[in-house]
Amino acid sequence: MIDSADRVILGSMVRPPAVDDVRRMPHVGSLSDSDAARFASELMVRGYEPREVIVVEGQPARGFYFIRSGKARIYRMAADGREQTFRIVLEGDTFGEVPVFDGGPSPTTVEAMERCEIILVPSESFHRLLWSHPEVAAALLSHFAKRLRAFTELIEQISLQTVPSRLARYLYQLAREEGQETPQGVLVPRSITQQDLASLLGSVREVISRSLRVMEEDGIVEVRRKDILIRDLGALRRML
Amino acid sequence: MIDSADRVILGSMVRPPAVDDVRRMPHVGSLSDSDAARFASELMVRGYEPREVIVVEGQPARGFYFIRSGKARIYRMAADGREQTFRIVLEGDTFGEVPVFDGGPSPTTVEAMERCEIILVPSESFHRLLWSHPEVAAALLSHFAKRLRAFTELIEQISLQTVPSRLARYLYQLAREEGQETPQGVLVPRSITQQDLASLLGSVREVISRSLRVMEEDGIVEVRRKDILIRDLGALRRML
DNA sequence: CTGGGGCTGAGACCTTTGTCACATCAGGGA
DNA sequence: TCCCTGATGTGACAAAGGTCTCAGCCCCAG
């Protein structure tokens, strides 16, 4: 339950959502000022502490979510405790749309990886918008299509590629997206632990640790405290 | 290329799509007669022989597809030849929507499993419909949501469950969906080969064959020529 | 400055799954 | 009827990946 009582009890309430937040949200960027203001008034904000659970698999959903700040992990856990992470969501991302549109329960669990401010977009508010704003529907369709494509990739990776290959792909994409060129190679910040990386790649920490070690011995990467230096991007590419 | 020349050359043309076909298509069921007639006039039909490729991974897409008759397999192949099947589509299903909405190339390959009649819905025709018919957009959003949920399940299965467990789940669902009660148990028709089943479950034929054998020895199922008798549905459930 | 928790490296081991090779078998055509 | 093809059963084997365990280390909260 997310309501004003909770906000106070949890002591984690921040300023209520404003039109500013709506402007930052995907899908609804093109609303008129008055529509945006009305929409904003229907949103709810809540803060979450690190490791706090935001959505529980199997529970009914009241809407979808927008991350105003922070980082969260969307995953599923097996009976034996192993976890598969589907996606890590950052500031500006939305999640939890599926139950809003197929009417089922939440397919996954979502947990804050750090302190988060999260806006709940109630299903009814959004549905109302959809029927009068075809551009919102179009944006959302495009969003869903991208997610399906990403899932297609994930399935292929897990099912058909080895762990070293998946790891190489991860590092390769990381280098392209947030890498910084240096004389020694591409430098990327280390934003997640090996544990989280393992879960994202559908493996376990130990295997990831070993794979990284092998890459290090081959002179392809250099794993350090706060960052990873990718010495040989071409070698990574060849491992895909 | 799919055009009238192809239709003739391939000798597989059937009657052109009619309003009847539109009425059978999901998403667009609620169109007015005149809208449906206009939409129908923009569709194209083509026949495919068994094993013929309908869509190739990585190729640009001209629209999405509706199966008027037949059965097809949507899959991805790794460099070593192993395949992961994402979905098997039947008469009345649609496929290939992703590139229409994210603008990218086809994420997967689609191949006819038997003789098929397939209708191509050009991207432009459908997009035009979307902007004037919010109910079409809503139907498609619901469709995408269901697909995402199904992919979530598939990822969980492949990543976290053993092959016997995945097989049990498959048989269990099969029993519920198309099973026929008999005194000996639930009888389901065998519609796919072990090879195809293996690809669907992210494994290989031999492993599936052995798993089925074990289940047979345990008295849970009885695999026969044309059908499978599920003797102990509860045991299957417990294997999940 | 210090103790404990979280993260990482690493070895030994075991299970599941994939690979290869080959025998069998059923059914549809020629 | 006979053969060929695709489907299936099976054994032996290889290997990738998961489990268990423990040590070292960094960091920071007390």
Q: Return the HEC string of chain B.
A: CCCHHHHHHHCCCCCCCCHHHHHHCCCCCCCCHHHHHHHHHCCEEEEECCCCEEECCCCCCCEEEEEEECEEEEEEECCCCCEEEEEEEECCCEECCHHHHHCCCCCCEEEECCCEEEEEEEHHHHHHHHHHCHHHHHHHHHHHHHHHHHHHHHHHHHHHCCHHHHHHHHHHHHHHHHCEEECCEEEEECCCCHHHHHHHCCCCHHHHHHHHHHHHHCCCEEECCCEEEECCHHHHHHHC
- A135 vs B18, more confident: A135
Give percent of chain B with pLDDT exceeding 90: 75
**Which pLDDT score is estimated for A9?**
34
Identify the burial level of A132 via C-beta atoms within 10 angstroms of its C-beta, where 0-12 means exposed, 13-18 middle and 19 or more buried: exposed
pLDDT at B5 over 60: no
Closest residue to A159, CB basis, from B84, B98, B137 = B84
Query: In this predicted structure, what is the pLDDT of residue A237?
Result: 93
pTM > 0.85: yes
How do residues B159-171 score in pLDDT, each as one tens digit?
999 999 999 999 9
What does the pLDDT read at residue A19?
Answer: 81
What's the mean pLDDT in B219-227? 90
Which residues are registered as beta bridge partners of B187? B180, B229
Give the separation between CA A37 and CA A129, rounded to whole angstroms.
13
Q: Can you give the pLDDT at residue A3?
A: 37
- Under an 8 A CB cutoff, do B86 and A155 touch? yes
In this prediction, the residues of chain A whose per-residue pLDDT falls under 70 are 1-16
pLDDT at A1: 36
pLDDT at B7 over 50: no
What's the mean pLDDT in B183-198?
A: 93
What is the band of B14 on the pLDDT scale with cuts at 50, 70, 90?
low
The predicted-structure confidence for A147-157, as pLDDT tens digits, reads as follows 999 999 999 99
* Lowest mean pLDDT, pick from A203-217, B15-29, B132-146, B151-165: B15-29
Residue B2 pLDDT exceeds 70: no
User: pLDDT tens-digit profile of B66-100?
Assistant: 999 999 999 999 988 899 999 999 999 999 999 99
Nearest to B141 among A86, A144, A147 (CB): A144
pLDDT, residue B10, reads: 45
A219: left (phi over 0), alpha (psi -120 to 50) or beta: left
Q: What is the rounded average pLDDT of the residues B106-111?
A: 96
- Residue B205's nearest nucleotide, by CA–C1', is D8
pLDDT at A71: 93
Separation between the CA of A6 and the C1’ of D29 (whole angstroms): 29
Give the distance, in angstroms, between residue A116 CA and nucleotide C5 C1': 23
